Structures are given as C-alpha cells and as structure tokens.
C-alpha cells in the first residue's frame, strides 16, 4: 500500500518503522513506572529486569526517585527490537468535513429539508452524563455550542441509566434520525455488551438502515464503534461541532443528490 | 478439523452464520477452520463480517488476535479500503453500491492467499445482499462472521444455519462457561410455533424472502406509551383479546412482552419472527413460562454445532476435554467440538 502522506522524514522505511532515540531506526524507547519498593540498588535492578522482560534490549536506569512510604519511581531507556509495517496499517477515522456552526446548520437544513431529530442517552447502568451533556447541552463545551443550540437539530437528551428498551421507545416515538449513546466502558466489557445489544435491538426493530448511530466515551475508539456495529465512535476531547459535522457528512453520504 | 465439516455436511447449508457467545470466544478460529476445510476439498467460499474481523490485535484488550486467512479464490465482502489492509492480494469483482466509511462495500476475490480484513457490513440488508451476490459469483458456501455476542447474522432470512462459538473467556470454570453457553442456545433454539396463522403474522413484518422489503416500515408500530402495561400498539397484535396466541413484529422486549401478555390467555404463546428478535433473558422466559405463556418463533436457523475454545484471552485456560464435555451436556443433541488452537 502506498502511503505518501506518511513518508515525511527522509530515509524512513515505512515497512520497518521503529522508535527513534538518537539515530533513525535505533529503536530506543523510554519507559517509566513506580515500584512498591524503597529506592535502593535492589529496586533499581528489579526495574532493569522488568524492562528486560518487557522485551527491551540493553535497558538502563536513567532516573530513580524515592516516592516515600516505601515506593520508588524509575525512568529507563532501552532498545525495542520490534518494527511495524505502517503501509498495511488501516485506522478507520470518523470522516467529517470541517465546517462552522453556521455552515453545518445551513447545509443540514438544505440537504435534509427539515431539522434532524437527535436522541442521546447514557445507557445501561451508566450514570456518567458528563460526556453526553458536553455534546448536547446548549451551553456546549470547549468554547463551542452544544447540539441543542443548532437550529438544524431537534435534540432530546434522555439522561443517565436509560435502558436500551426505553431508548428504542424514544427513538420510535420521536421518529429519530440520529442516536448518540454515551458509555463509560469498564474493563469487564459490561458496557460494551450493552452497546452490542443496542445494535441488535435496532436491527430487530427494523430501524437500522435509516438511523445514524454513534457512541462515545472516554474509552471508546472509532474502530471499537465500527466493530460493534455503530457508524462512528467518539473519544475524549470530541467537541459538539465535530459530532454535528459528522451528522452532516453521514447524512450527505447516505442521501446523495439525485 | 474434519469434524467441523461433518457438521456442515450433515445439513449442507449454503449460508452459515458463526455466532459468538461473547467476544474472544473463538469466532475467527471457527471461521478459519470452515474456510480452510471447505477450500481444501475444492469448494469456493465467500466470507464477510457484521463487525470488523481480521485485525491484528483486539481493539479493546490490545492482545493479538487470530487473523482471517483466505486461500486464493476466496470471495469476500468488505469495504474497498479494507481490501488493502491484509497480506492477501485481492481484486474487486463488483461493487455493491453500499457506502461505508472505508469506501464502497465491494465483493472481492483473493488472488494470492494471505490475511484479509472484513469490514463495512452494517445492517441485515447489507448482509443478505452481499451473501446473495457471493453465491451468484460462485461461492458454494458463504460464512457470516459475527461480532461480540451479536446475533444478527443468525437471522433465518439470511443464514441457513448457525455455528455457535463459546470459550473459556466466559468463565473461570467449565460449568460457568457451559451455563452461559446454554443461555445463548436457549435463545437461538426457541421453540417454533405450530400455528400457521401466527407464523404468517409474525413474518408479516418484512414478508417472506420472496416478498419485497418495502413492507418493513409500514407494519412497524411504534410503542410510545411509557406505561408498559399499555405499551402494545394496535396493529402489532394478531387476534382478539385473550387470544390463545399473539404474533409480534419487530423486537420482543421485556416491556412489550408484559404488554402482550395482557392479551394472551393461558396457556398461550407469543410468537416472534425469529430468535434474533427476542430480547428476553432466561429469567424473563422462565417467569412467563411459569405463568403459562411461552415465547415461540416463526422461523429459526438450526444450530449445527458448538465450537469450544479452552483458551481465554484474559489469561487462563480450562481443560479442553472437560470444557467440551460440560458444553456438550448442556448443548445435547447439538454436538460440541474443540478446534485446533490458532497457529
């Protein structure tokens, strides 16, 4: 696969990309961690051995600090033996145009002919509404208006701990065009299972083809969302305008001019 | 490896869905065994995934995953950009017109064997369309790869049969894994109704395969009442009050079941289109069964077998023979088998 956009630094072999320390391809990396041991030569040797077991060659401790209460902190350098072929690495991105608040509203109203209906919720047992509120609430986030402020969108925020079934009811009752689901995903995957069930539920109700569906949260990646069956996934730092631009792009993609 | 082909041969289905009891239960290993086994004996196969499959590492845990291995001649439905992501060399045979974030959903053919990335299929409509295109292009069998524990691919209008993948990732003991497997099997093997009128009514949502899908929107009645006791919309129910049975279109959820049960006499039945429309857990089904109301389906794709993965990506391994036996006990008469570990 030819990836000219990645070939910025002269002399880099895109099929053998290694970390860079002093010279290209030397594989030098820095790692840091704490140990539940007081700062002493034995603890430093333990840190070095841990780096070896991580697969680093020639690990050296460059910094050691006593954290108190029997803990210590280490910074090590070492050589990573591995390389990555980025010419065969595919990372799906949310594809959305760069557009202003005004442009998004104007284009959405023009292409859809009406305001789109958006339903958002934190589903399952999730009570963390910070993310969905930042995107939906009129006051917005990071200096941008929330989706409630967009004249081209009619937003209904269902809040926290919404069951998939209730969300489906609201989607049907409001004849929604867009569903935004927020989840703080736990390590035990419970919330991801809930997202997977939502996609199956929408399909079973016969609504999947006409709904734009995105999920978001601090541990959601776009790839995860696609794997689960959503159309897009938004991670930390996403702003309302990015979500609105995605809605516009996705709507235009699905409704090309005749 | 050959036993999985025995399962296939017994029923000779053209389209097989590989459904997982959960994530990392062995769907890709099962898919690879099916692809390799069928290809080795000269059958041309087609493959696609309802999520994304074939990536190097688990998106969530970051641990390596088995890749999807495609011999030369394999057909695949995937997004155009994803065609370039594996080591296999492929060519595009035809576009489907389906637009995905990774370009058009296309039907490709592997020219030089290697790994492939399957992505871009979003809905049942995509799935059915791509499977039928691959059949038309000469695939003797088409394998539909699931995602997480999603069951969409088991829709009998798409798949002729299902192979279920289960594994140690679901529990720390063989019994725990077997119990979780049983829950999924209970759903996939919901009993079929004997009543032709209810079967026809439940199928009405989208019509039989030969009918047009245009009826999809028209017959879906939104359930809008917040009070679940009143939530069954007219038009979703066939039959008078306190009928011996009702048919439901769309998804059968906890609230809808409660509402529909008001209209069913006991003993009675509620009939959904197929198991992928039923969103009731084992406790719900038991509760209604005790009250004399049984959930049945109009159609279902038969489960040919259960593949058992004794390795958990979370770091433990269960004894393969014991796990297979525990799963076989709860799955009987459906056979359970352990596949060779990925190499």
Q: Note whether A90 contacts B102, CB cutoff 8 Å.
A: yes
The reply to whether B28 touches chain A by the CB within 8 Å rule is: no
Residue B6: helix, strand or coil by DSSP?
A: helix
Residue A45 has a pLDDT of: 96
CB of B164 closer than 8 Å to CB of B21 = yes
Task: Write the residue in A228, A232, A253 that is nearest to B147 by C-beta.
Answer: A228
Residue A102 has a pLDDT of: 94
Residue B342 has a pLDDT of: 54
CB of B253 closer than 8 Å to CB of B229 = no
A86: nearest CA in chain B?
B85
A221 vs A212: CA distance, rounded Å: 17
Active-site annotation holder among A82, A139, A166, A253: A139
Q: Which residues pair with A215 in a beta bridge?
A: A181, A233
The reply to whether B217 touches chain A by the CB within 8 Å rule is: yes
Q: Is ipTM strictly over 0.85?
A: no
Residue A192 has a pLDDT of: 81
Q: How far is CA A89 from CA A229, B48, B49, B66, in A?
A: 21, 20, 19, 16
The CATH fold of domain A101-254: Rossmann fold (3.40.50)
CB of B285 closer than 8 Å to CB of B279 = no
**Under CATH, which number does the domain A1-90 receive?**
3.30.30.60
Provide, as residue numbers in chain B, all residues whose Cβ is less than 8 Å from the Cβ of A95: 101
Residue B32: helix, strand or coil by DSSP?
A: helix
Provide, as residue numbers in chain A, all residues whose Cβ is less than 8 Å from the Cβ of B22: 193
B206: nearest CA in chain A?
A206
Q: Note whether B220 contacts A95, CB cutoff 8 Å.
A: no
B221: nearest CA in chain A?
A172
Task: Write the residue in B122, B217, B222 that is nearest to A229 by C-beta.
Answer: B122
Q: How far is CA A79 from the centre of its chain?
A: 29
A213: nearest CA in chain B?
B122
Series of mean pLDDT values for 10-residue runs along chain B (343 residues): 79 94 91 94 94 66 75 94 87 88 88 91 89 95 91 94 95 95 95 91 61 32 35 43 82 91 86 95 91 95 96 90 96 91 56
Residue B59 has a pLDDT of: 54
Residue B232 has a pLDDT of: 41
Residue B222 has a pLDDT of: 31
**Domain spans of chain B?**
2-189+301-338, 196-297
Backbone angle region of B337, left / alpha / beta, with phi > 0 → left and psi within -120 to 50 → alpha: beta
**Under CATH, which number does the domain B2-189+301-338 receive?**
3.40.50.300
Series of mean pLDDT values for 10-residue runs along chain A (258 residues): 77 90 92 96 96 94 94 96 82 73 94 95 79 86 89 94 93 95 71 88 91 89 86 88 93 83
A116: number of Cβ within 10 Å: 22
The reply to whether B55 touches chain A by the CB within 8 Å rule is: yes
Q: Note whether B85 contacts A90, CB cutoff 8 Å.
A: yes
Q: Looking at chain A, how many residues does it have?
A: 258
B341 vs B328: CA distance, rounded Å: 19
Q: Note whether B119 contacts A193, CB cutoff 8 Å.
A: no
Helical residues (DSSP H) of chain A, grouped into ranges: 41-53, 101-112, 130-136, 164-174, 190-204, 222-228, 240-254
The reply to whether B276 touches chain A by the CB within 8 Å rule is: yes
Question: What is the H or E stretch that residue B39 is in?
Answer: helix B27-40
Residue B65 has a pLDDT of: 74
Provide, as residue numbers in chain B, all residues whose Cβ is less than 8 Å from the Cβ of A89: 85
Intrachain domains A1-90 and A101-254 with the same fold: no
Q: Note whether B123 contacts A208, CB cutoff 8 Å.
A: yes
- The pTM of this model reads 0.78
The reply to whether B84 touches chain A by the CB within 8 Å rule is: yes
User: What is the distance in angstroms between the Cα of B41 and the nearest Cα belonging to chain A?
Assistant: 31
Q: Note whether A196 contacts B217, CB cutoff 8 Å.
A: no
The reply to whether B122 touches chain A by the CB within 8 Å rule is: yes
The reply to whether B284 touches chain A by the CB within 8 Å rule is: no
User: What is the distance in angstroms between the Cα of B6 and the nearest Cα belonging to chain A?
Assistant: 30
Residue B64 has a pLDDT of: 66
Residues 152-191 of A with CB under 8 A from B: 164-165, 168-169, 172-173, 175, 189
A188 is catalytic: no
Residue B62 has a pLDDT of: 57
Q: Note whether A206 contacts B250, CB cutoff 8 Å.
A: yes
Residue A18 has a pLDDT of: 93
**Domain spans of chain A?**
1-90, 101-254
Residue A95 has a pLDDT of: 66
Give the pLDDT confidence of A43-52 residue by residue, as tens digits: 999 999 999 9
A147 vs B186: CA distance, rounded Å: 42
Q: Note whether A193 contacts B84, CB cutoff 8 Å.
A: no
B254: nearest CA in chain A?
A165
- Picking from B48, B52, B15, the residue whose alpha carbon sits closest to that of residue B147 is B52
């Amino acid at each position: 696969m030819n990836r000219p956009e990645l070939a910025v630094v002269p002399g880099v072999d895109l099929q053998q990309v290694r970390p860079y320390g002093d010279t290209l391809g030397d594989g030098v990396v820095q790692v840091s961690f704490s140990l539940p041991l007081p700062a002493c030569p034995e603890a430093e040797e333990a840190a070095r051995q841990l780096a070896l077991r991580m697969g680093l060659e020639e690990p050296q401790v460059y910094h050691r600090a006593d954290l108190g209460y029997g803990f210590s902190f280490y910074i090590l350098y070492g050589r990573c033996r591995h390389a990555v072929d980025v010419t065969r690495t595919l990372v799906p991105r949310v594809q959305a145009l760069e557009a202003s608040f005004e442009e998004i509203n104007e284009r959405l109203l023009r292409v859809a002919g009406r305001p789109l209906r958006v339903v958002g919720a934190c589903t399952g047992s999730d009570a963390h509404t910070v993310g969905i509120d930042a995107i939906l609430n009129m006051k917005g986030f990071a200096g941008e208006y929330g989706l409630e402020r967009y004249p081209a969108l009619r937003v209904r925020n269902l809040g926290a701990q919404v069951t998939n079934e209730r969300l489906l009811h609201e989607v049907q009752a409001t004849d929604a065009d867009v569903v935004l689901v927020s989840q703080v995903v736990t390590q035990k995957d419970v919330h991801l299972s809930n997202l997977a069930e939502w996609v199956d539920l929408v399909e079973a109700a016969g609504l999947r083809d006409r709904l734009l569906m995105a999920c978001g949260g601090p541990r959601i990646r776009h790839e995860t969302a696609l794997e689960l069956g959503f159309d897009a996934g938004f991670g930390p730092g996403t702003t309302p305008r990015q979500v609105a631009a995605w809605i516009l792009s996705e709507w235009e993609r699905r409704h090309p001019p005749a | 490896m050959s036993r999985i082909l025995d399962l296939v041969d017994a029923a000779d289905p053209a389209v097989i869905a590989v459904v997982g009891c959960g994530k990392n239960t062995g769907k890709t290993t099962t898919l690879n065994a099916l692809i390799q086994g069928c290809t080795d004996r000269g059958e041309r196969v087609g493959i696609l995934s309802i999520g994304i499959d074939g990536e190097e590492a688990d998106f969530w845990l970051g641990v390596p995953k088995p890749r999807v291995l495609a011999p030369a001649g394999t057909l695949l439905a995937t997004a155009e950009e994803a065609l370039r992501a594996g080591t296999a060399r492929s060519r595009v045979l035809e576009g489907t017109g389906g637009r995905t974030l990774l370009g058009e959903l296309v039907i490709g053919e592997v020219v030089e064997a290697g790994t492939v990335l399957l992505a871009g299929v979003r809905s049942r409509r995509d799935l059915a369309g791509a499977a039928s295109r691959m059949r038309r292009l000469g695939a003797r069998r088409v394998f539909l790869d699931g995602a997480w524990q999603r069951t969409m691919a088991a829709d009998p209008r798409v798949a002729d049969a299902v192979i279920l993948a289960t594994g140690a990732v679901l529990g720390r003991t063989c019994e725990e894994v077997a119990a979780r497997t049983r829950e999924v099997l209970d759903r996939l093997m919901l009993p079929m109704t004997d009543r032709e009128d209810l079967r026809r009514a439940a199928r009405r949502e989208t019509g039989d395969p030969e009918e047009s899908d245009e009826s999809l929107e028209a017959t879906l009645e939104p359930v809008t009442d917040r009070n679940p006791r009143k939530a069954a919309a007219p038009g979703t129910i066939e039959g008078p009050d306190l009928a011996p049975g009702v048919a439901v279109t769309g998804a059968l959820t906890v609230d809808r079941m409660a509402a529909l049960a008001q209209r069913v006499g006991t003993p009675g039945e509620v009939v959904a289109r197929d198991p992928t429309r039923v969103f009731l857990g084992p406790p719900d089904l038991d509760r209604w069964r005790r009250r004399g109301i049984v959930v049945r389906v109009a159609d279902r794709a038969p489960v040919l077998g259960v593949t058992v993965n004794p390795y958990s990506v979370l770091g433990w391994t269960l004894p393969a023979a014991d796990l297979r036996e525990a799963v076989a006990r709860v799955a009987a008469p459906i056979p359970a088998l352990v596949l060779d570990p990925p190499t």
